[in-house]
Structure 1
Amino acid sequence: MNRSYQEKIDEYGDVASFFQRSFKDADICILSSHAHKPATDHVRKMIRELKLRAYNVAAVFLSNGYDDDAAEISLRNWDERLWLENPPAESEVVIESQIAKLADEFTQLLIARATLL
């Protein structure tokens, strides 16, 4: 997904429809969601759909977005939880640079783990 489920919900429909029409099986799938209500219910349904397909399901939490709703999502039936430090940034330039660095580090983590399997 290049945008969160909630940002494209008009296109995707409900979670079951998203998995029927838009989801593509792959070795690694990255689904994006907001953390506020009703996203907590969307995430629960996404986890179910992924587990029905025998995926290991990990949550990735960004430190600057961790609030009560994110904590509620953390309680879901994840196989793993990952934490990325993403401190608040002052400018758009810093934000873009910080996100690029986090994306690179996350990619490196996935590659390193894949070599262990």
Structure 2
Amino acid sequence: MFKYWAYVLIGNNAVGKTTIQKELALRLCSIDKFSRFDSNQNYKISNTSMPSSARHIFMMGRSFDEQNTTASTFFRNNFHPSDIAILSFHAQTSNTTEIIDTIRHLRRFHYNVSGVFFQNNQYGQTRDLAELDWDERLWIENPPLKESEDLTEDAYYQLRAIGARFATFLIKRSNQHCGEV
């Protein structure tokens, strides 16, 4: 038996949602997407630490808000069911209806749905979104960096490290939930 998990990254611009997905593509699929990352792609998982039952990962890339669509249209035209799915939204209460619809659509595909929230993005809107009917809530520690000469580069490497830890989490979870019944 294998549990299907969808992870919905919730955070505003520049919080690291896309960089983390790029790191997942590198760590799980051996695909270097740091120059350009296409939206709504299904990637073959090549990491040998993943169980053979976890063959593909869907990554949304750009946030739902940036794709100018509704949940129904997105799932009809852009979503590719896979063993693991990564989607993302901006942390705005104006997205509540679309996030609720996204959870509903993912459950129709038999996914457990995890809301993934960022430490450096905990505003009132994020707290409101955390109250939605998630199967679980994950907290990504992404502390604000101290001022340095190259804050952008430091943030980039911090996000890559977070992406690497998230990849390890996905590997461990997939191995935990792939046993025979």
**Short-chain TM bin:** over 0.9
Mapped to 2, the partners of 1:94 and 1:66 lie a distance apart of 21
Question: Could you tell me which residue of structure 1 aligns to residue 123 of structure 2?
Answer: 67
| Letter matched to residue 63 of structure 1 | Q
Do residues 39 (structure 1) and 95 (structure 2) align?
yes
Counterpart selection for 2:86 from 17, 30, 33: 30
Instruction: Provide the TM-score with structure 1 as the length reference.
Output: 0.92
Do residues 4 (structure 1) and 60 (structure 2) align?
no
Secondary structure (helix, strand or coil) at the match of 1:29 reads strand
Instruction: Provide the TM-score with structure 2 as the length reference.
Output: 0.61
Mapped to 2, the partners of 1:42 and 1:92 lie a distance apart of 31
Mapped to 2, the partners of 1:51 and 1:115 lie a distance apart of 21
Deviation at 1:24, TM superposition (A): 0.5
Unaligned runs of 5+ in 1: none
| Letter matched to residue 90 of structure 2 | H
| Letter matched to residue 66 of structure 1 | Q
Secondary structure (helix, strand or coil) at the match of 1:61 reads strand
Deviation at 1:100, TM superposition (A): 0.3
Structure of higher CA gyration radius = 2
Output the aligned Cα RMSD.
Answer: 1.0
Deviation at 1:40, TM superposition (A): 2.1
Unaligned runs of 5+ in 2: 1-59
| Letter matched to residue 32 of structure 1 | S
Question: Could you tell me which residue of structure 1 aligns to residue 160 of structure 2?
Answer: 100
- The structure with the largest helix share of the pair is 1
Question: Could you tell me which residue of structure 2 aligns to residue 50 of structure 1?
Answer: 106
| Number of matched pairs | 114
* C-alpha distance after superposition, 1:1-33 (max 9, x if no partner): 111000121xxx211000000000001000000
* C-alpha distance after superposition, 1:13-56 (max 9, x if no partner): 21100000000000100000011131222211111111122110
Q: Is the 8 A contact 1:63 1:85 kept in 2?
A: yes
Mapped to 1, the partners of 2:135 and 2:71 lie a distance apart of 20
- The structure with the largest strand share of the pair is 2
Mapped to 2, the partners of 1:50 and 1:17 lie a distance apart of 13
The structure whose RCO (Cα within 8 Å, separation 6+) is larger is 2
